[in-house]
C-alpha cells in the first residue's frame, strides 16, 4: 500500500513540475522539468534524509550526550522490533519532532531542544513512539521524498514568474506559480493526514500510554502557535504537529489532522484500555 502511495505521490508532484516547465519554456521547459524530476526522485531516495536533517542543522547525539533521549529511543525500538535509528537534536526552542530516512535500516529520529525542555518523560516517550511508528509503518520514505520533490515544485513555480515564455502567457504563468505550491500541499495532505492517526495509534500501542501522547500534543500545538518553528513549508508534513503558525487558511491547507481530533481518539483508546 505504501509503495502505491509513493508512486502516486511522486507521479503527481512530477506532473506538476512538468506543467510548470511547460509554462516556463514550452517544449524546452518540459524537457528541463523532466530532467529535474528524474534527478530529484533519484537523489530524493538516496539523499533526502540528509538534506532535511541539514536543512534544520540537526546534530547527531550519543547516549553519553543525551542519555534519557537515547535510552528512550533504544527501549521503544526494541518494543517495536526495529533497528535503533540514529538520534538527532535540532537546536531550536520551538518544540517539535520528526522521523526521516528510506527504510528501517537507514532511519533517524530528530527532536528539537525545545521539546526536551517542555515534555516530561512519559510525554517524550509518546512522541518518540509516534515517530518510531512512522518508521515501522514505512511512512518515512514517502514523507521525506515528498519534502524534497515538493521543494522543487515550489522553486520551479517561482522561476515560472521570471521565465515565462512570452508576455501573452504571463497571466497563466503567474496563475501556475500561485496554484502549483497549493496543489503540492493538497497532494501531501492526501498522503499525510491518515498517516498521523495511524502513528498516534501505533504510539499508544507501543508506549501503552495514549494519554501521555495526548498531553504532549496539547502542549506542542499550543507552543507551535506561540513559538512557531522557522520551517520550510515543504517539510511541514514531516513534523508531529504543524510547525507553521497561521490562521484559517493555513489550517485549511494543513498537512496534519486537527490536534483536537487526535487527542480525542487517543483518550478513547485510554478508555478502552481501562
Q: Kindly list the catalytic residues.
A: 131
Give burial (CB, 10 Å; 0-12/13-18/19+) of 67. Answer: exposed
* C-alpha cell, 90: 535540532
**E strand or H helix at 120:** none
Q: Tell me how far CA of residue 49 lies from CA of 39, 56, 58, 111, 270, in angstroms.
A: 15, 11, 11, 14, 34
Question: What is 204-231 written as a DSSP string?
Answer: HHHHS-HHHHHHHHHHHHHHHHHS----
3-state secondary structure of 88: strand
- Diameter of the chain by CA atoms? 67
3-state secondary structure of 17: helix
- The residue among 149, 146, 148, 171 whose CA lies nearest residue 160 is 171
Q: CB atoms < 10 A from the CB of 271, how many?
A: 10
The DSSP symbol for 84 reads: P
Amino acid at each position: 500500500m505504501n509503495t502505491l502511495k509513493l508512486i502516486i505521490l511522486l507521479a503527481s508532484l512530477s506532473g506538476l513540475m512538468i506543467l510548470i516547465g511547460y509554462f516556463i519554456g514550452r517544449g524546452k521547459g518540459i524537457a528541463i522539468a523532466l530532467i529535474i524530476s528524474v534527478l530529484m526522485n533519484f537523489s530524493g531516495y538516496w539523499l533526502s534524509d540528509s538534506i532535511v536533517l541539514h536543512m534544520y542543522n540537526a546534530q547527531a547525539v550519543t547516549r553519553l550526550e543525551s542519555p534519557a533521549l537515547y535510552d528512550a529511543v533504544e527501549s521503544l525500538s526494541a518494543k517495536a522490533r526495529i533497528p535503533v535509528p540514529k538520534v538527532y537534536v535540532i537546536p531550536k526552542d520551538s518544540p517539535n519532532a520528526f522521523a526521516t530516512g528510506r527504510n528501517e535500516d537507514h532511519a533517524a529520529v530528530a527532536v528539537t531542544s525545545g521539546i526536551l525542555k517542555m515534555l516530561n518523560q512519559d510525554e517524550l516517550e509518546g512522541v518518540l513512539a509516534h515517530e518510531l511508528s512512522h518508521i515501522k509503518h514505512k511512512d518515512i520514505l514517502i514523507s521525506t521524498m515528498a519534502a524534497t520533490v515538493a521543494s522543487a515544485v515550489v522553486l520551479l513555480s517561482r522561476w515560472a514568474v521570471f521565465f515565462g515564455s512570452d508576455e501573452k502567457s504571463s497571466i497563466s504563468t503567474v496563475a501556475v506559480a500561485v496554484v502549483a505550491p497549493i496543489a503540492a500541499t493538497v497532494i501531501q495532505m492526501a498522503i499525510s493526514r491518515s498517516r498521523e492517526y495511524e502513528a498516534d495509534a501505533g504510539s499508544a500501542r507501543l508506549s501503552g500510554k495514549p494519554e501521555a501522547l495526548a498531553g504532549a500534543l496539547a502542549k506542542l500545538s499550543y507552543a507551535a502557535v506561540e513559538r512557531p518553528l522557522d520551517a520550510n513549508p515543504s517539510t511541514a508534513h514531516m513534523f508531529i504537529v504543524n510547525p507553521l503558525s497561521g490562521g484559517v487558511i493555513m489550517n485549511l491547507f494543513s498537512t496534519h489532522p486537527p490536534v483536537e481530533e487526535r487527542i480525542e481518539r487517543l483518550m478513547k483508546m485510554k478508555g478502552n484500555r481501562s
